[in-house]
Structure 1
Amino acid sequence: MMKDQFHIVIRLLHWLMALAIFTMLFVGAGMVSSVANRDWLYDLHKPLGITILVLAILRLVVRLSSRTPPLPSNMPLFMQLVAKLSHVLLYGLMLALPMIGWLMLSAGGYPVTLGGGIELPALVAKSNSLYAVLRPLHTLLAYSLLLLVLGHMAAALFHGLIRRDGVLRSITFGK
């Protein structure tokens, strides 16, 4: 591994999760805007959410146990703080959204099915009042994740195309 790149496992998980999260955001948008496709989108949304949760936990473990490339020394302190805060928020949302979704479905009395007859246990007892709180929270956090991901992409392009400081290259597979 080059010292200016993330560990290969982090890079693989980053791009796998990027694909999963984009898919999930589109599936989520389709679920709320389509009556005709709602059932199969829900059937995709649940296992994809659990997959994202598992990948996020794995990614966090690898991230905390490996070295990360330093930010460029000429990067302004404000940008460094925004980068660190945005990564904390990204990790937080990648963990919180699927957990809140699972809690929400449990509170609503809906099973979390992964396909092939696999059903996860409910995390809480059925509670209409808890479901009523968790459902809009899940939606709000999903929109927050979308905005954060768009900001993350804009920052990556800024570093790759304008600053050309190696930040984008640190998470890709090129030299």
Structure 2
Amino acid sequence: MSIQTTGFPATSRILHWLMAVLILAMLFIGVGMAASNTGQYSTLVSIHKPLGIAILILAALRLVNRLINPPPPLPADLPGIQRFAAHASHLALYAFMFALPLVGWSMLSAAGYPIVLFGPLQLPPILPKSPSVYASLRELHTVLAYLLFATVLLHFAAALFHGLIRRDGVLESMTSVRVGK
């Protein structure tokens, strides 16, 4: 088993962990919004919207950072199916980081709701008002959120597998912490 000796640059690690926290917060806020039948809903929505836009902006920054600072190579002895799964899951995570905020923005635009970031700062609508488009996008937003959650769980499981079972340096490349020598 080869051990990965190079790590991600600090900028990549900071963006990764910042986005991990924001994405998990958004998933839990989304669940809270879906389960809320009290006055909490409007508070959760007022947090959810600007966080979604922050994730969209950070995803763009993260993509640029990834192009400037490519990730370290995977271990040479990593089986082909695991190598494929790693690349596919990263592509899926990036797709979700862009798609969910854009679908949310489109959904709210189609509903005629303002996308208030904070104070008087609002985003312009990106779709015309349409109740049927809103309904479709709301369903899509929910499905994408579940798929993102499943992908995040798989990503976390793979990180633990690399850190605790394979002990190949992949987890450490993002954490800068040596696990289970």
Corresponding residue pairs, total:
174
Q: 1:82 aligns with which of 77, 81, 85?
A: 85
The one-character-per-residue Cα deviations of 1:139-158 (angstroms, maximum 9, x if unpaired) are: 00000000000000000000
C-alpha distance in 1, partners of 2:89/2:130?
33
C-alpha distance in 2, partners of 1:166/1:137?
37
Contact 1:46 1:112 in 2 (8 A): yes
Contact 1:7 1:67 in 2 (8 A): no
Q: Structure 2 length as normaliser, TM-score?
A: 0.93
Contact 2:105 2:126 in 1 (8 A): yes
Partner of residue 95, structure 2: 92
Give the alignment's Cα RMSD to 1 decimal.
Answer: 1.2
Q: 1:123 aligns with which of 126, 137, 140?
A: 126
Moved over 6 A (4+): none
SS of the counterpart of 1:9? helix
Q: Structure 1 length as normaliser, TM-score?
A: 0.96
Partner of residue 20, structure 2: 18
Gaps of 5+ in 1: none
Partner of residue 170, structure 2: 167
C-alpha distance in 2, partners of 1:152/1:68?
16
The structure, 1 or 2, with the larger RCO (C-alpha pairs under 8 Å, 6+ apart) is 2
Contact 1:111 1:120 in 2 (8 A): yes
Partner of residue 104, structure 1: 107
Gaps of 5+ in 2: none
SS of the counterpart of 1:157? helix
